[in-house]
Amino acid sequence: RDFLDDLVFFSGAGFLTGAFVGGATAVMDCLRFGDASDTLKLRINQILNMAGHRGRKAGASLGTVGFVYASLHNGLVCARGRDDPASFIAATAGTGAIFRSAAGIRPASVAGASGGLIAA
């Protein structure tokens, strides 16, 4: 596959997975922790609002992870001239580090190391 195929696939799959999982966890939380005195109409509104909010947030996060991974992996493959496990491991470590870089140097290094270890 070429770069654009990977980019669309990983970004789209990440977004859809995040939206589904985020929405499902929100529905479960609303059903578990909802107030028993709420009316059915209010409960449905709470579920829809919370599922939409968490689904969008998780979908955007995982879509971004997919975008960064596809970009790094393709860049490494183009720079090195071959697609091997080292490119995969380096791309996953770099993705974790970049994704958590806004939280500081320590969370970024932990995320990068854990991404690399999981990939290895």
Query: pLDDT tens for residues 62-107?
Result: 999 999 999 999 999 999 988 889 999 999 999 999 999 999 999 9
Can you tell me which residue has the tokens 């109409």? 41
pLDDT score, position 96: 93
pLDDT value at 57 more than 90: yes
pLDDT value at 33 more than 80: yes
For residues 4-18, average pLDDT:
95
For residues 7-34, average pLDDT:
94
Please give the DSSP secondary-structure letter assigned to residue 102.
G
Question: C-alpha angle 114/78/74, rounded to 5°?
Answer: 45
pLDDT score, position 78: 92
Q: What is the mean pLDDT of the chain?
A: 93
The residues spanned by each domain of the chain are 1-60
pLDDT value at 1 more than 80: no
pLDDT value at 30 more than 80: yes
Residue 43's alpha-carbon distances to 16, 34, 35, 68, 91, in angstroms, are: 25, 8, 8, 37, 43
